[in-house]
Amino acid sequence: MILQFRNISVAYGDGGPSLTGFTLDVAAGEIVALVGESGSGKTTAIRTAIGLLPGGGEVVDGDILFNGKSLLTLSSKEWQALRGRQMSMIFQDSGAMLNPIRRIGSQFVEYIRAHQSVQKQEAWELGRVMLERMGLPHSETIMNSYTFQLSGGMRQRVGIAMAMVFQPRILLADEPTSALDVTTQSQIIRQMLELRGKYGTAILLVTHNLGVAAYMADRIIVMKDGRIVEQGTRESLLHQPAASYTRDLLEAVPSMRGERYV
């Protein structure tokens, strides 16, 4: 297993735990989707894995292993060596994570050189080529653009390109398609599947969209109130859900002429 959560509990400030007894294994090349309503602990789980808990969040119990090594004992220097190169994250709106007053290329070059000792021109070329692999043919123009000059789908592709430039072992994706129109969602989903196919990248995906989870994931984890209520293959969860909450989620999917397209 490439990533292992072992009975993880997370708390923010003086409040109660927002994630309780979370246990999950992710194998190399596997796609696992975390689904559930807002506040169910999905984003907390993946942010815990990459050491980016916001607002004073703290792991109060359990452990997380990456390639058999505990992530909770890493130093700042060890985290810097791990993030980006072996483990990367795509955010819900990658454009919001980029500096709006700096060109894409400047930020991409800085990101690459922070993780790899290369000259600026070589870093620029690495970034440009990765943009083309993400379906952005006018890569030189995009490298010279600001975020506000790009569409939502283009910004998201930039975010995926930056996350994948070092071909990490695992990609953590926090609602990567929710801010996009359905056509662009489809394109982004297919590109993420191609990443798994081409590089063997494991993906831990957070989504509200059961259709996205059903299309992409090998396994689906259903969460509620910071706990896992059910998990299984997409076939078993969609066709034979055991938990009433899972059945409620499926019932909430819009139907057309009596058919639910999940």
Alpha-carbon span 249 to 35, nearest angstrom: 9
CB half-sphere exposure, 192, CA atoms < 13 A? 34
Range of the domain at 83: 3-260
pLDDT-based confidence at residue 219 (cuts at 50, 70, 90)? very high
3-state secondary structure of 214: helix
Alpha-carbon span 200 to 217, nearest angstrom: 14
* CATH code of residue 24: 3.40.50.300
3-state secondary structure of 179: coil
1-19 pLDDT, tens digit each: 899 999 999 988 766 668 9
89-106 pLDDT, tens digit each: 988 777 778 899 999 999
Query: What does the block give as tokens for 140?
Result: 């030189």
37-55 pLDDT, tens digit each: 888 889 899 999 999 888 7
Q: Output b/e per residue, 120-153; b: 16+ Cβ within 10 A.
A: eeebbbbbbebbebbbbeebeebbebebeebeeb
Q: How many domains does the chain have?
A: 1
233-261 pLDDT, tens digit each: 988 888 888 888 888 888 877 665 555 55
Q: DSSP label at 241?
A: -
